[in-house]
Amino acid sequence: MSIPLPDTVNLPTVAKLNAAQVSAAFDGASRQKLHHWRKHHGFPTAYRGQNTSFTATANIAAWLDRRGVKVKWV
């Protein structure tokens, strides 16, 4: 089962993204949607740090690349 993804995703040129930044990169994807992607589609795991969770930007970019989605660095 494939998941609908845009042709291009804008990612900021930072090492890690907080949950709000990940959501914004995917046009406001909900926490539930991101959790589903992590559980069923191998979306990169978030890790805890300083009272929030982060996901490595490079891991998100690699995940998108494996699915044929272009990353635009902003």
Give 6-42 pLDDT, tens digit per residue.
Answer: 899 999 999 999 999 999 999 999 989 999 999 999 9
Query: pTM of whole model > 0.85?
Result: yes
Number of folded domains that form the chain: 1
CATH number of the domain where residue 40 is located = 1.10.10
Q: Would 3 be classed as within a structural domain? A: no
Q: What are phi and psi of 60, to 5 degrees?
A: -65, -45
Q: Would 43 be classed as within a structural domain? A: yes
pLDDT computed for residue 8 by the predictor: 95
Q: Would 55 be classed as within a structural domain? A: yes
Three-state DSSP class for residue 23 = helix
Residues in the chain, how many?
A: 74
Q: Would 37 be classed as within a structural domain? A: yes
Q: Would 2 be classed as within a structural domain? A: no
21: containing domain: 8-73
Q: Would 49 be classed as within a structural domain? A: yes
